[in-house]
Structure 1
């Protein structure tokens, strides 16, 4: 009999002895993540992908921050089979980190601590469209995150959510990213770092042509909304992968790029097939109750995680099913 992990060996012994067994969590099954070529691999070197939700902007006073709690994280793990979650920490808009650093950092620690307790991966996202305008704030933020959590393999750093279409990769985004990467690596030598790309994190081909060099465990951000982004963006992503960079879909939507509209099931399925084919981890936008198509929950849903199907929007039900069934090998 062969065992693929310590946890499966322990489980087998438990069965033989007739005792209750321990169910391994995601981190115990996969361990520390790294980048090998154009793939994100687990501790055994196997390409793998994870699925979960992205929280909405954390900004104080916007309302979505009430979902930044341990009960919500536990719920998506136990009821959705989520293996990753994204904390979208608002940076430079009203109520963001620049305006309320301690309030927003408390949301970081709440979600990250809950993700660690549940044994899943967690993306700490600097949620900005203008991060290059405030590099010192980003440096200070990720210094805090890396100092507190750099020894936790659960944590993934996303240093720039979505640069705009007129924010140049070579002269603005890349220099900003190199500063952030150097600072994080001076504290944490190995956890994954994800770098945003030009045009709302769609121009991954530009990053592939001019990648950040001499840094391990670095991947690049790909975002899409199925109602807007079609085969041409998949072709661009494939080109980037073929050039040798790793990608992570830290945000995607079933609806239009403005966050609204009906679920485009046909195009979403094409994207799901693409992500599975290329082992792309992904987080769906957004675990929130805003009155728009992308939200998972209907307006007014309590942030306690005790949800039934009637609490979900069309997109929320669809996405929950995607996440529940993403992992080919269920935890046992």
Structure 2
């Protein structure tokens, strides 16, 4: 076996190892800037059928994703009402990502804060999985505009981060920012103390354009490391046309600035942002006729950029 073949066969986690924040970028175990590209699953309580090993394997092997996101739904029939059932779904995704050698974002998918429940949830994840460099903690998905950074979000993150660090002092944390994770410049101006925490930036190409990229630029100039844990090719409500031109502008921006990014979402919901069409198998290996326009746009980008996944 040639050296080139051996290198190509390495998984993303074997290649990059533990991730960390260095200045306003995320770097790997070698100190090299790293860009992860992948897919987010939909709210766990509503599309839990895709929370399984076969789907994660399809994303890793066929789509060439090097990161997946398990979106733990908190309210509306989610974790607060069914903690054991929702936890099992997320753990299946974590176990599958570890087996495939890719990264996994464990996301507290909520709009309103639940600091005690979130701290307990992440403490369990950190105790059970914190030894694995695959794990990335996303402590709060999309805080609403009414939740101020200094008064609500910063104390919330500090409480949850402390619960993680008690068991896992090392793995990367990504902290949600105000206004559906768009006010990254506000967080950058008053940063969290944890040295291995980046900040969540979300966008939907049909709604969020150059002004949001300008906010991201301001945040990075203030020294913040950003991570796009969720982006969509459509309007922010998940519908509307797939805005290919604006999506490509975002691709260029993220690649230029070394920002990791995950598309919303692996779901067969009847909306434009869903990567799959209604009735797509919960067992992965989707044929082209079950993948939406947005899904194909994203899959093509992952295959093109994540070249080391080819042939694995």
| TM-score clears 0.5 | yes
Q: 1:80 to 1:45 in 2, by over 3 A?
A: same
Q: Deviations over 1:280-308 (max 9, x none)?
A: 11110010000000000101111111211
- How far apart, in 1, do the equivalents of 2:182 and 2:89 lie? 28
Q: 1:229 to 1:110 in 2, by over 3 A?
A: same
So what's the TM-score if we normalise by structure 1? 0.91
1:27 equivalent in alignment to 2:13: yes
State the partner residue of 2:152.
172
Counterpart of 1:113 (choices 95, 115, 133) is 95
1:40 equivalent in alignment to 2:26: yes
Structure 2's unaligned 5+ residue stretches are none
Contact (CA 8 Å) 1:33, 1:42: kept in 2 or not?
Answer: yes
- How far apart, in 1, do the equivalents of 2:279 and 2:307 lie? 34
Contact (CA 8 Å) 2:60, 2:309: kept in 1 or not?
Answer: no
State how 1:1-332 maps to structure 2 within 5 Å.
11-12=2-3, 23-59=9-45, 62=46, 64-94=47-77, 96-131=78-113, 134-213=114-193, 215-327=194-306
Count of residues in correspondence between the two structures: 311
- How far apart, in 2, do the equivalents of 1:11 and 1:189 lie? 37
Asked which structure has the greater CA Rg, the reply is: 1
- How far apart, in 2, do the equivalents of 1:284 and 1:206 lie? 24
- How far apart, in 1, do the equivalents of 2:264 and 2:168 lie? 28
Deviation at residue 48 of structure 1 after TM alignment: 1.1
1:80 counterpart SS class: coil
2:89 counterpart SS class: helix
Q: 1:21 to 1:221 in 2, by over 3 A?
A: closer
Contact (CA 8 Å) 2:8, 2:308: kept in 1 or not?
Answer: no
Cα-Cα RMSD = 1.6
Deviation at residue 196 of structure 1 after TM alignment: 0.2
Contact (CA 8 Å) 2:111, 2:144: kept in 1 or not?
Answer: yes
Contact (CA 8 Å) 1:11, 1:22: kept in 2 or not?
Answer: no
Contact (CA 8 Å) 1:87, 1:125: kept in 2 or not?
Answer: yes
Structure 1's unaligned 5+ residue stretches are 1-9
So what's the TM-score if we normalise by structure 2? 0.97
Q: Deviations over 1:132-178 (max 9, x none)?
A: xx211111100110000010000000000000011111100111001
- How far apart, in 2, do the equivalents of 1:254 and 1:206 lie? 25
Contact (CA 8 Å) 1:24, 1:331: kept in 2 or not?
Answer: no
Q: 1:269 to 1:22 in 2, by over 3 A?
A: closer
- How far apart, in 2, do the equivalents of 1:330 and 1:283 lie? 16
Q: 1:53 to 1:21 in 2, by over 3 A?
A: closer
- How far apart, in 1, do the equivalents of 2:153 and 2:41 lie? 24
Contact (CA 8 Å) 2:148, 2:178: kept in 1 or not?
Answer: yes
